[in-house]
Each structure stands twice: as structure tokens, then as C-alpha cells.
Structure 1
Amino acid sequence: MTRVPEIAYDCDVLVIGGGIVGLSTAYAITRAAPGTRVTVLEKEPGPARHQTGRNSGVIHSGIYYRPGSLKARYAVRGAAEMVKFCAEYGIPHAVTGKLIVATDRAELPRLHALVQRGRENGIPVRELGASQIAEYEPEVRGLAAIHVGTTGICDFVAVARQLAHGSGAEIRYGTRVVRVDRRPERGVAVLTAAGDVVRGRVLVNCAGLYSDEIARLTGDDPDVRIVPFRGEYYELARPELVRGLVYPVPDPAFPFLGVHLTRGIDGGVHIGPNAVPALAREGYEWGTVRARELGSTLAWPGSWRIARRHWRYGAGELRRSLSKGAFTEAVRRLLPGVSEDDLVPTAAGVRAQAVLRDGTLVDDFLIREGARTVHVLNAPSPAATASLPIGREVARRVLSAL
């Protein structure tokens, strides 16, 4: 009988993606199973260069998410754990609370529904009348509001760095994966752009904006496409106008929270984001166009179905992207004293939004398994907040496959 030669694995678990979810997964694996060899491959020269490092820095309470969903459970649990993690390692953070403000009568039923959802998710919520808003935010105006006390802010990039350091994993920055060879009986081998081959027993796909492409490289069909949405931000030139965090009432048809005001850990106030289609997966400006990636988005039937179904919403977002005046109008609904001159452009982010073939925007975190693979296919906001529980869940699946 021919003997199959012993395979020399470089590691037990190979993680693609050095954002906060990939690093949390590496951290959780080595905590749950000390001695497990984990290698993280990240194409950028450092951690957290995309979704993790280009957001509002908000530790979300979990009030928006459907009770029982992964987002609801992991955000509520993750918010408390994130505050504890930051305190333990001296990472800048604060539990600030936030206001969700209704500025139109049509929003009042949705605001009341959020109160109920918050209670179902175990989140303390205080209802406010118009005159009570000034207790928290003297410059903000609205018909009614709710105060959510468990919301906070932190430096998620610093969190990612600490997870990388604390995991004990081998982390290879500047390492882009170009090919994957997955054989259920022999593990996974990846080829990097530099020509190196890295072999592992199990592969974890935490590639964010490229997670669907990595899944296809392994031979697994994710049956979703990442459609990138750019979120554009401004910084408030008069940060004294805002004390903390102020949000509009979101439209439940979309996973976006609307243009909000966020006082960050550095004391500055960010305003945004809107949500417009990006012309590349890392298309942080209108001028960044990658034909292959744009073609992939346009070839996906779900992209056209989104456009047909939600063109009015999209037109409004596009108008706010192209017109600073229109963006200012949206901000004035919450903060009447703001002017165009108060808004200073700052770095944008891109949301990796998974879209089904029928045009449905995947609303929950999406984790799928294949033979010797675990794919995190939808982990936009509040994934940074929920990164510690997400990492443990992915680690559980990985360790059962070893």
C-alpha cells in the first residue's frame, strides 16, 4: 500500500485578514487552545487599515438589532466586554451614552419601536420629550428622543493592535493572498503575491471587503457578493456644539444608521456617514475606480435589484455626497446652528455589505463553513463592537474542525 507522505504544516490555523475580526479570532483561538499555531496574513503593512480603522469609533449598545439575532446578542455582550478590555489594557475609551432623536412626526412610531427593541435586548433606555433633549445636548433640536446609556467610544485600532500582541499568533503584514488550494484530506495551502506558500490545517476567511472573493478561491460558493458602500465624513470645526453622540432615527429598511454626530476619544466631532456606492472595494474617493471590481458589482443581479427597489433613498445619499449644502441640510435637522463652513472634509470609510442574489441586504453577521474553512462573509458595523464574541464563535467552529 502506498503511504501518503506526512504534510509539513506551517501552522494549525491560517487566518486571512488583519482587521479587528481576524485578530480577535486569532486571540480567541490561542486563548481557548493554548499551543495552537495561528498565522495571520494581512495584505496591508499594519493592522486595521480598512473597516476597523475608518469608522466612527462607537461601541454600539445593540439597540437597533433584531432580538435574537447575532448582531443583537453579540453587540450587547460585546459592548460590555469591549469596555472591560479597553480598561484592562489602558486603551482610550469612554461610556458616553447617546441620543437618538426624532425630528419629524413620521419618525415617532419608529422611535417608540426602538424603545421596545432596546428593552427586549436588555438595554436600559430613557425616553425624552423635546424640552429634555437639552439636558444632554443643548444645541440639538427634536420632537422627542431616547437616551441609551451603554453606548461608548474607543480607539478600535489600538484594540486591534492589542489583540495582535496578545494572541501570540504569527502575523505577516504586507502579505496578499492570490491563490488558495484547499484539499479536505490535506488542509489548505495559500500562495502569496510574493510567491511564498503557507500551509495550514484550517483556513479562516476574515478578509472583509474581499471575503467573498477569498471564499471563491477556496472553492466554496458564498452565494453572496460584497457590494461596497462608501461612507463620507466631515469633522465639525466647532466641536463645542456637540457634547457626545447624537443619531437620527434610522430607516429599518436599511442597515445604515444615517448621518450622526460623534464626539471621539480625541475630542473632535465627526459627522456622517452617508452611504453611496463605491467604485472600488477600497474606493474611498469618487476618483478611485477599479474596473474589475466595479464590473463584479455590476454583474451581480442583486446590485441592480437594490437600485430598482431603493433608487429614491440612493438618490438622496448621492445628492448629499455631491453637495456639501445638501449634507449640511441633513445635519441641520439635528443641529440647527451648524453651517457649511463648520464642516471640514475628513477620511471616508467603505462598508463591506453582503448582498444576496435577490437584492436583499444581509442584515445579520454571516458566518459559513466549508471543508477546512470558516468564512466571515458579513461583518460590517457593529462588528468592531462585537469583535470579541465574534472571534470566540469563529474560534469554536475552527477548533471543532481541527
Structure 2
Amino acid sequence: MAAVGGGAMPYDRCDRYDCDVLVIGAGIVGLSAAYALTRAAPGTRVTVLEKERGPALHQTGRNSGVIHSGIYYRPGSLKARYAVRGAAEMVKFCAEHGIAHEITGKLIVATEREELPRLHALVQRGRENGIPVRELGAAQIAEYEPDVRGLAAIHVGTTGVCDYGAVARRLAESLTASGGEIRYGAEVAAVDRRPWGVAVRTADGAVVRARVLVNCAGLHCDRVARLAGDDPGMRIVPFRGEYFDLARPELVRGLVYPVPDPAFPFLGVHLTRGIDGGVHVGPNAVPALAREGYAWSAVRPRELAGTLIWPGSWRIARRHWRYGAGELHRSLSRRAFADAVRRLLPDVAEADLRPAPAGVRAQAVLRDGTLVDDFLIREAPRTIHVLNAPSPAATASLPIGRQVARRALGVLGAAGV
């Protein structure tokens, strides 16, 4: 029988499993799920497949390292619940394992009068989510950030920064120490799901048989879902986040954000003092021309075509073309980028911005052009799909991992394992 992904699997029934749960993707969410499985049910055989030569080389290892407080997210949503819980757990995890981290607090600053109602709404949202916030007038901003200017601000004391790449590596070490396995350089080529379980063939021809499949493939999660024979009802539309480093990091003490536009999942160009002492400026958000398109020169025609034929992509473009045009302008003009930064930090000059590595956000988009706002986890026979887990997924990775593990163990239990 032909595998769903093409080609033929070399079996008709399963007499032996290679593992109980097979996780695709060794980003922080996939590793957290695998880690949670080994802690919740010791003895469960867990294997992780990762197409790269190491963990956390995409979204996890290319973000600004912020431990988000959860202030932005709709009360009761998975993002709100998991970010608040996950922030505390991430700080504890870093402390226990000697991973660099710091609770810096952050300012969210209104620089125009029309932003003031949105800033006040964030105060209320933060309180509904159980997050302590302090409202500041223009003169009080200097108590936290002497070089930042604004009409008003709020201070969120629970925000911090850490090294998520180091967190992912520690999760990987804990997984293997508990008997789990990670196979690097193992890109998924085909998935065959049967009543007894799932088999995955990698690009090098190896076949891994499991009772349950967990799809945490991030930028490629929709492709993996389709390989499994499931219609995810969404597509990943990649957005590149472009960063600069600030040549004068002494201008910023902690984290400084603009008031976000609620119509978008992006938080706008902000200033982040990282654990290395440097200050990252960004991200600018522009369409990427490949799932891993970290520069304009990175183009994969097949992946780009997949984005362009998805109806939701064109509906986003029609609905938000003004916003997108501004982002493209800042991408192509460092002067325009500097102008955006000067709204918060007036003393910044164009020469103060030094190019830094970019990241790509795996944004799930529905057919009607809706940007999926919350984490999205769906179940199919013998399969758990994590279909939308961009920021603040790194912050929330430990609770997300436990939720995915509970679902996977539930499937194992239902199968009588």
C-alpha cells in the first residue's frame, strides 16, 4: 500500500514498534513535549526526529529571548494561560539548570494620543490575566528608561530574558538521560497511518514505527499534517523578523515596546536588552520567500508557490496592505527603520543600527485570511498536531509540552497500551 507521502512503506502490519511516541521537530515545543512524556510516564519510549544537525536552529534559536508576561493575550486563551504559567516555570527551569536569565521588566510606551486607549486596555487585560502592572505618566518613564520618550507607559515587572537555545539543549540532554532518543539529520519524507499506529519514512530511507505521532514541526507543521493524510484547515505563511543590534546599548536598560496594533499578531519594533548585554532592535515583519527564508535572497519556488496559492495569503494582503507596505519600506530602508525606533528612543541614529540575524515566524493562516491568534493543537487518529505555536510559544513551552504529552498519553491509553 502506498504511503500517504508517496513511495511504498516496506510492511503491511506491525510486529514491532521502534517507540511508543514519535515526535517530529526538536524545537523547544517538540523537546518540551518529549521531556514531559518521560516525566509523566517513565518508561514510555520516545523518539524525536529533527531534520537539522542540532536542536532549536529555527524559531527557538532565532528569537529575541524574551520571557513574555502574558499581558497581550485574550483572557482565558491558551496564550494567556500558558504564557503566565510558563513564564514562572521558565524562570524556575533556568535557575535550576544554571541557564542564563534575568527578570528585567519592560515598558510598553504610548507615543501618540490615539494609542492611549489601547494602552489603558492593556492595563485591564494584564489585571484580568493576573499580571501586576504599574501605570506611568510621561515624567515617570525616565525612572526606568531615561532615554525613552512617550506620553504614557505601563511597567510590567514579570517580563525577562533568557537563552532559549540553551533551554532546548538542556531539555534534549534530559530526554536522552531518561532513555529517549533524538535522531538528527532525519527529515520526514512520508507518513503512513494505520489502525495499529504510524510509520514515518525519513529522507534517507529509514522507517520509524510508533504507536502515536506528535507533529511539532513548526515552520513545516502543515506539510507534515498533510503527509499524515489530515487537512489542517490552515497554512503556515512565513514572516521574516528582521533585527538590528544597537551600537550604543547604554541607551536601553531593559525592554521597551510600543503599543501593539490588536489587528496583528506582531508586537512592533521594540528594544530588548539580551542576556549578553547587547540590545536587539526589531523585529520588522515581512513576508518570507521560503519557510526558512532568513534573507530576501533565500527563495524556494515550491514553498513560495504554496504560500501564493493559499487563498488566505491574498486576503491578508488585501486587508492589511497599508501595514505591509510600511513593513516592506522599513525592510528596504534603514533610515525608515531608524525613524520607527526614534518614536521610542529619540537619540538613535541610522548609524547606530547594525544588521543582526533574522528569524522567521511560522504564522498559521486560515483560508479566509484570518491570522490564527491562539495556540492551535488538533488531534487526529493516533496523531497530535501542533499547528500554531509562534511567540510566546518559547515562554509557554513547558505547559504546552505537558498538554501535548497528556493528549499523547491519552491516545496510548485508549489504544490499551
TM-score of the superposition, structure 2-length normalised?
Answer: 0.95
2:115 maps to which residue? Answer: 107
1:189 maps to which residue? Answer: 199
The CA deviation string for residues 245-274 of structure 1, in whole angstroms up to 9 with x for no partner, is 000000000000000000000000000001
Count residues in correspondence. Answer: 398
User: 1:58 and 2:59 equivalent?
Assistant: no
One-letter code of the match for 1:68? G
CA contact (8 A) 1:226 1:353 kept: yes
| Structure 1 residue 5: Cα displacement | 6.3
Alignment of 1:102-251 (within 5 A): 102-167=110-175, 168=178, 169-183=180-194, 185-251=195-261
Uncovered stretches (5+) of structure 2, i.e. residues with no partner: 1-11, 413-417
Change (3 A) 1:335 1:12: same
CA contact (8 A) 1:128 1:144 kept: yes
The CA deviation string for residues 341-371 of structure 1, in whole angstroms up to 9 with x for no partner, is 0000010000000000000000000000000
1:18 maps to which residue? Answer: 26
One-letter code of the match for 1:213? R
One-letter code of the match for 2:198? V
CA contact (8 A) 1:353 1:361 kept: yes
CA contact (8 A) 2:14 2:196 kept: no
| Structure 1 residue 165: Cα displacement | 1.0
| Structure 1 residue 7: Cα displacement | 1.9
| Structure 1 residue 30: Cα displacement | 0.5
Uncovered stretches (5+) of structure 1, i.e. residues with no partner: none
1:288 maps to which residue? Answer: 298
One-letter code of the match for 1:10? D
1:253 maps to which residue? Answer: 263
- Alpha-carbon RMSD across the aligned residues, in angstroms, is 0.8
The 2-side partners of 1:48 and 1:69 are apart by 26
**SS of structure 2 residue aligned to 1:228:** strand
The 2-side partners of 1:242 and 1:386 are apart by 26
Task: Give 2:357's match in structure 1, choosing from 318, 325, 347.
Answer: 347
User: 1:96 and 2:107 equivalent?
Assistant: no
| Structure 1 residue 128: Cα displacement | 0.2
| Structure 1 residue 39: Cα displacement | 0.2
CA contact (8 A) 1:7 1:186 kept: no
One-letter code of the match for 1:116? Q
| Structure 1 residue 186: Cα displacement | 1.8
Task: Give 2:88's match in structure 1, choosing from 70, 80, 87.
Answer: 80
The 2-side partners of 1:275 and 1:145 are apart by 24
The 2-side partners of 1:121 and 1:71 are apart by 11
CA contact (8 A) 1:47 1:161 kept: yes
**SS of structure 2 residue aligned to 1:53:** helix
User: 1:324 and 2:324 equivalent?
Assistant: no
The CA deviation string for residues 90-119 of structure 1, in whole angstroms up to 9 with x for no partner, is 000001100000000000000000000000
1:304 maps to which residue? Answer: 314
**SS of structure 2 residue aligned to 1:358:** coil
The 2-side partners of 1:6 and 1:356 are apart by 36
One-letter code of the match for 1:50? H
The 2-side partners of 1:80 and 1:155 are apart by 15
One-letter code of the match for 2:183? R
